[in-house]
Structure 1
Amino acid sequence: MNALDVINAWVDGYDSFYFFLPDGPYGRPFDNQYSIDKIEMDEVGLNIYFKEGVVFCFYGDVEVMEDYDKLIISKFTKFKFEDVSEAARYYDYGEVILTRF
């Protein structure tokens, strides 16, 4: 399975997610929950859109690993984190971890 298939299978049947960025948690776990709107791959990489206005843009080929209720996305060449309430953040190393509820 490619990264898109792994992620789609992992989120199937779940509505609430929380995430950790490469530099740590984003907000408070369980206080901040997000819903995935769509997941797509394009010529640049992988994009995950959340209904709350958050967007993950992974550039390059990523590695996706499942660990129980966590999904670990790593080995990107660049990661862009967008939230409508603040300026975009960029990372060139680390992991992004999604947790499902």
Structure 2
Amino acid sequence: MNTIQYIKDWISNKESFSFFLPDGPQGRPFDKQYLIDGVIENQNGVTIKMSGGIEFEFEGEVQYRDEFCNLIVNGFSVLRYKVNGVVNSEYLEGEFCLNGF
């Protein structure tokens, strides 16, 4: 199964999401919960769109591992964290964690 289909299947079993960037949470962990608006394959990788105008753009050979309530994404060459279309942070390494319930 390819990465994008795996991510879509993983989120389809969950209703509410939070996230942790490679340098930690934005604000207090688990205070804010989001919905997934879409998972899109683009020419450079994968984009996860969330409610609140939040997007995560992954470029490169994205890898993932399922840790039950957490989907860990790594192996990207660039991760852009965008809010309302504006790049808030950019990461060249590390792990991204999508937490879902």
Query: TM-score interval w.r.t. the shorter chain?
Result: over 0.9
Aligned match of 2:88: 88
Question: 4+ runs of 1 displaced by more than 4 Å?
Answer: none
Cα deviation for residue 46 of structure 1 reads 0.3
Cα deviation for residue 85 of structure 1 reads 9.3
Paired residue type of 1:90:
E
Aligned match of 2:42: 42
* Identity, % of aligned positions: 37
Give the aligned CA root-mean-square deviation in angstroms: 1.5
Cα deviation for residue 91 of structure 1 reads 0.4
Cα deviation for residue 88 of structure 1 reads 2.2
Paired residue type of 2:27:
G
Paired residue type of 2:39:
I
Unaligned runs of 5+ in 1: none
Paired residue type of 1:23:
D
After superposition, residues 56-67 of structure 1 pair within 5 angstroms as: 56-67=56-67
After superposition, residues 2-81 of structure 1 pair within 5 angstroms as: 2-81=2-81
Cα deviation for residue 27 of structure 1 reads 1.7
Distance 1:92 1:81 in 2: 12
TM (normalized to structure 2)? 0.92
Distance 1:61 1:51 in 2: 25
Q: Is the 8 A contact 2:45 2:59 kept in 1?
A: yes
Cα deviation for residue 30 of structure 1 reads 2.6
